Amino acid sequence: YFWELRGHLRDGRQWLEWGLAQNAEIAPAARASAQLALASILETQGESAPALAHSEMSLEYYRASGDTARIAHAALNAAAIASSLGGAELTHGYIEEAQATFANLADIPWARRASSHLPLLVVSNWTSQAGLAEAEQRLRDVVDQQRLIARESGSEEPFACWPLIAWGTMAHVA
């Protein structure tokens, strides 16, 4: 997130690719974290296919290690990337896995907020009129849920930054 938040995606990508290409013994957990970080950067740069491959590699490690929190994170990431590729058949499996693992983390605030994004990934067609209506309703539901989470936690700031932006964009387009 350091490179994404500061706009240094190229630097982050170069470091991650360099590190993952090393022949040195790298702890599997560190490799999986680097793969997931690189997947996020690649997706942001519009390279969804390699992003999904890296996300899947990290997910395989987390599944094998039984790390529920990271399985949820990696599955959500893979679902978002698969959704951007338009692969409903791919997205569905990742969404189911993310839902199942987030259910095991229900008492953890970040997991509840992160899992609230899952409904956005199952919008069938964002480009058709029916798809836009469905997407708008799902965005509204996510924002409402995240506002509720914010109120319950005592925070005044909802987590739904990008859903709010997407909802505003849709209102402008429609």
Report yes or no: 164 and 145 within 8 Å, Cβ to Cβ: no
* Mean pLDDT for the chain overall: 80
For the purposes of burial, counting CB atoms within 10 Å of the CB of 130, is it exposed (0-12), middle (13-18) or buried (19 or more)? exposed
pLDDT of 6 strictly over 80: no
pLDDT digits (tens, 9 = 90+) for 136-165: 777 788 888 878 877 877 766 655 566 666
**Alpha carbon distance 69, 74 (integer Å):** 9
pLDDT of 56 strictly over 90: yes
pLDDT digits (tens, 9 = 90+) for 89-116: 666 688 888 888 988 887 787 787 778 7
pLDDT of 126 strictly over 60: no
What is the mean pLDDT of the segment spanning 18-30?
Answer: 88
pLDDT at site 107:
79
What is the mean pLDDT of the segment spanning 39-66?
Answer: 92
- How much is the pTM? 0.74
Residues ≥6 apart with Cβ < 8 Å to 31 = 20, 61
pLDDT at site 83:
78
94 or 123, higher pLDDT: 94
pLDDT at site 87:
60
Choose the weakest-confidence range: 55-64, 74-83, 97-106, 156-165: 156-165
76 or 124, higher pLDDT: 76
Helix axes of 161-173 and 129-153: crossing angle, nearest 10 degrees: 150
